[in-house]
Amino acid sequence: SSGIGKATTLFFAKNGFNIAFTYKTNKDGADGVVKEIENLGQKALAIQADLIDEIQAKHVVLNSHSKRNTINF
């Protein structure tokens, strides 16, 4: 929800991609990024997860696909 992750998601959103991304603890920051992406006309999905945990990482993939049939990045 900040730094290079935020910059990357916004770059792809500006170029027409729908975005699913993860955040570890900063829900307010993630919600802000979602709003920025949606203001660019794209779909966004923020998923709270610690990607070091294999189960959580698998959940991210399944959750992002089931919530948005066309996640590009």
Cα 9 to Cα 19: distance, rounded to the nearest angstrom: 7
Count of C-beta atoms within a 10 Å radius of residue 37: 24
Rounded to the nearest 10 degrees, what angle do helices 3-14 and 27-39 cross at? 20
What global pTM score does this model have?
Answer: 0.82
pLDDT tens digits for 23-52?
A: 999 999 999 999 999 999 999 989 999 999
pLDDT at 72 over 60: no
Give pLDDT, residue 23.
94
Task: Name the token pair of 26.
Answer: 């900063």
